[in-house]
Amino acid sequence: MSHPSNEDPRDELEGTEQPFVSHLVELRDRLIRALIAVGIAFGALALWPGPSGLYDLLAAPLVSHLPQGATLIATNVISPFIVPLKITLMAGFLLALPVVLYQVWAFVAPGLYSHEKKLVLPLVISSTLLFLVGVGFCYFFVFGQVFAFIQSFAPKSITAAPDIEAYLSFVLTMFLAFGLAFEVPIVVVVLARLGMVSIEKLKAFRSYFIVLAFIVAAIVTPPDVISQLALAVPMCLLYEVGIWAAQVFIKHTKAPDAEEDTPA
Q: pTM (2 decimals)?
A: 0.80
Q: Give the span between the Cα atoms of 185 and 128, in whole angstroms.
A: 12
pLDDT-derived band at 1 (thresholds 50, 70, 90) equals very low
Mean predicted lDDT score pLDDT of the chain: 84
Q: Which is higher by pLDDT, 84 or 255?
A: 84
Q: Which is higher by pLDDT, 237 or 14?
A: 237
Point out the least confidently predicted range of 9-18, 41-50, 181-190: 9-18
Per-residue pLDDT, 56: 92
pLDDT (tens digit, 9 = 90+) per residue, 25-35?
999 999 999 99
Q: Does residue 183 surpass a pLDDT of 50?
A: yes
Instruction: Report the pLDDT averaged over residues 166-185.
Output: 92
pLDDT (tens digit, 9 = 90+) per residue, 18-58?
577 888 899 999 999 999 999 999 999 999 999 999 999 99
Q: Does residue 189 surpass a pLDDT of 50?
A: yes
Instruction: Report the pLDDT averaged over residues 157-167.
Output: 84
pLDDT (tens digit, 9 = 90+) per residue, 90-147?
999 989 988 888 888 888 877 777 766 777 778 888 888 999 999 999 999 999 888 8
Q: Which is higher by pLDDT, 16 or 181?
A: 181
Closest CA to 127 of 245, 228, 254, 261: 245
